[in-house]
């Protein structure tokens, strides 16, 4: 009996285990079937689902790139004309020999020094002229002595004429002799003054106060009126830039326009203003000169080359950041987004660079949606999703 009961219990246990194992397999199979069904449904719906269309027919899915755009509008910007030219003294003064000349004894100045009006720049030997002046001074003394003697003789004659010892004709002759002697004194004095003036002109002097630019004379050199320019000076140290401009630009620049000059090789900018616009235009290159006055600065060297930006008034123009303006072999351009969200290439002409961006003088009205960034990754005609940047 015990064996039979044990056999029955063992068979019941096997039946229970088998049922549990079978139930677990059913659950696993059911789960796999559900997962397979979901995958099939997802793939079926994904294969037949069409991408959503935007309001203007463009694709609004992940394949449509989003770009940042802005409507720049128009704002007042300075109208700037850029040019190049050479630096020069505004009033250059060539200094040479004004007198007879001679051997240079001393040169008293060097280039870069400031001098006053009438200051001696170089001294010329005057030993011969000094002796001539001494001779003329002696002749004055002789003439004065003759004049005193003639005056005394006239006075004695006038004292004797009333007694009848001297005739009136003798008095007249002595009066004429006295007058002639006085005239010779004046002639001798004038000759001495002339000689002294000539001697004074031997020194080479500055015609006005200013800055010495060049020196072309040395001690021991013999100079004369034909020796040419010995010194060059800038009157008052004032400088200028001779800007070469086209005929059209000359017309638009008024006298007094502010300008910013940058010498070649320097980052320093100098402020000046246009003080003269050339009334004639070169027939060969159709260019004229605008002269920009500049105050003295050691960095401004006559003969040097410089660039200039002349502010010829203001104008209304769109202003864009540098990232929005692209360029290739055809020139500068921007990308705009039209009403169908299509990318359109627009050629533009740029103007002055302001702290807010680059002014666009031609090509934009200001009411377009301009792509601000990543324009290099777009192609004309491509559909995009514009995102307008806040002002």
Nearest alpha-carbon partner for 81 in 284, 245, 198, 242: 245
Question: Do 92 and 233 form a contact (C-beta atoms < 8 A)?
Answer: yes
Mean pLDDT throughout 276-299? 90
In the predicted model, is pLDDT for residue 18 greater than 80?
no
In the predicted model, is pLDDT for residue 1 greater than 60?
no
| pLDDT confidence of residue 346 | 92
Question: Do 235 and 91 form a contact (C-beta atoms < 8 A)?
Answer: yes
Same domain, 160 and 196: yes
| pLDDT confidence of residue 48 | 42
| pLDDT confidence of residue 111 | 93
Mean pLDDT throughout 74-81? 81
In the predicted model, is pLDDT for residue 10 greater than 80?
no
| Percent share of the chain, pLDDT over 90 | 32
| pLDDT confidence of residue 19 | 64
Q: How confident is the model at residue 294 (pLDDT cuts 50, 70, 90)?
A: very high
**Mean per-residue pLDDT over the chain, rounded:** 83
Burial class (CB in 10 A: 0-12, 13-18, 19+), 122: buried
Structural domains in the chain (count): 4
Same domain, 40 and 70: no
pLDDT tens-digit map of 319-348: 998 888 998 888 999 999 999 899 999 999
Q: Considering the domain boundaries, does residue 213 fall inside one? A: no
| pLDDT confidence of residue 215 | 94
Same domain, 104 and 192: yes
| pLDDT confidence of residue 373 | 84
Same domain, 245 and 170: no
Same domain, 118 and 192: yes
Same domain, 23 and 117: no
The count of other CB atoms within 10 Å of the CB of residue 165 is 10
Q: Considering the domain boundaries, does residue 333 fall inside one? A: yes
69 Cα distance to chain centroid: 35
Same domain, 146 and 242: no
pLDDT tens-digit map of 354-365: 778 888 888 898
| pLDDT confidence of residue 108 | 94
Same domain, 106 and 167: yes
Mean pLDDT throughout 23-48? 65
Q: Considering the domain boundaries, does residue 257 fall inside one? A: yes
* Residue after which a domain boundary falls, among 256, 290, 315: 315
CATH number of the domain enclosing 332: 2.40.420.20
In the predicted model, is pLDDT for residue 4 greater than 60?
no
In the predicted model, is pLDDT for residue 391 greater than 80?
no
Domain that holds residue 25: 1-49
Strand 66-70 vs strand 385-388: parallel, antiparallel, or unpaired?
parallel
Comparing 18-27, 86-95, 162-171, 218-227, the range with the smallest average pLDDT is 18-27
CA distance 307 to 105: 43
Same domain, 103 and 173: yes
pLDDT tens-digit map of 88-142: 999 999 999 988 888 999 999 999 999 999 999 999 988 888 888 888 889 889 9
The two three-digit tokens of residue 115, written as one number: 């001098």
pLDDT tens-digit map of 225-274: 888 999 999 999 999 999 999 888 888 888 999 999 999 988 899 999 99
Mean pLDDT throughout 41-62? 47
């Amino acid at each position: 009996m015990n064996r039979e009961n044990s056999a029955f219990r063992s068979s019941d246990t096997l039946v229970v285990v088998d049922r549990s194992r079978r139930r677990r397999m059913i659950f696993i199979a059911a789960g796999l079937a559900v997962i397979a069904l979901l995958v099939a449904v997802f793939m079926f719906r994904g294969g037949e689902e069409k991408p959503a269309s935007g309001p203007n027919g463009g694709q609004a899915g992940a394949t449509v790139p989003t770009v940042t755009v802005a409507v720049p509008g128009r704002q007042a910007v300075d109208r700037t004309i850029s040019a190049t030219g050479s630096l020069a003294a505004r009033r250059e003064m060539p200094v040479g020999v004004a007198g007879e000349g001679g051997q240079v004894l001393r040169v008293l100045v060097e280039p870069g020094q400031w001098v006053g009006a009438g200051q001696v720049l170089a001294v010329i030997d005057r030993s011969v002229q000094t002796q001539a002046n001494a001779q003329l001074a002696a002749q004055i003394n002789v003439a004065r002595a003759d004049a005193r003697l003639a005056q005394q003789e006239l006075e004695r004659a006038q004292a004797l004429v009333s007694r009848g010892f001297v005739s009136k004709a003798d008095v007249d002759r002595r009066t004429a002799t006295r007058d002639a002697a006085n005239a010779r004194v004046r002639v001798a004095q004038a000759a001495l003054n002339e000689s002294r003036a000539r001697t004074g002109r031997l020194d080479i002097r500055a015609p006005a106060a200013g800055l010495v630019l060049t020196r072309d004379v040395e001690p021991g050199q013999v100079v004369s009126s034909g020796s040419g320019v010995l010194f060059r000076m800038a009157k008052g140290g004032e400088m200028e830039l001779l800007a070469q401009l086209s005929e059209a630009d000359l017309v638009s620049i008024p006298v007094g326009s502010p300008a910013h000059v940058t010498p070649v090789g320097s980052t320093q900018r100098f402020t000046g203003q246009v003080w003269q616009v050339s009334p004639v235009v070169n027939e060969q290159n159709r260019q004229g000169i605008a002269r920009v006055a500049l105050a003295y600065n050691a960095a401004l060297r006559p003969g040097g080359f410089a660039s200039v930006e002349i502010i010829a008034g203001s104008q209304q123009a769109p202003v864009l950041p540098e990232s929005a303006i692209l360029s290739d072999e055809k020139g500068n351009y921007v990308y705009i987004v039209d009403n169908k969200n299509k990318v359109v290439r627009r050629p533009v002409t740029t103007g002055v660079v302001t702290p807010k961006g680059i002014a666009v003088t031609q090509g934009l009205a200001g009411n377009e949606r301009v792509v601000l960034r990543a324009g290099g990754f777009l192609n004309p005609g491509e559909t995009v999703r514009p995102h307008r940047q806040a002002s």
